[in-house]
Structure 1
Amino acid sequence: VIIVGALIAAGPQDWNLAKAFGFIAVVLASINIFGGFIVTQRMLQMFRQKR
């Protein structure tokens, strides 16, 4: 939801410094979200029972 809102706020307007910072923020937020999924998967694998 946060990334979609940031993309809508960025919109197709002129390119300026604020838009550049917004783009960097969207990229970093995406990395944070997907990194959280990866860490969660690794943690869940640690607690699986071995057969």
Structure 2
Amino acid sequence: MTYTIEQINALFDKVNKTNEQLNQYNQPNAEPTNQGSAQECVVRIVQY
């Protein structure tokens, strides 16, 4: 299965927004801890 750049960018945006929401909910006064996880996720998908 292949993905277009647009699909990958949309997935980045979706995961990054989810991460921001989780960080605000779980750690309102802390630095974000899961930056870059969207890219790692997509790389794993593409590798398979």
TM-score when normalising by structure 1: 0.46
TM-score when normalising by structure 2: 0.49
Larger Rg: 1
User: Relative CO higher for 1 or 2, CA cutoff 8 Å, sep ≥ 6?
Assistant: 2
Bigger helix share: 1
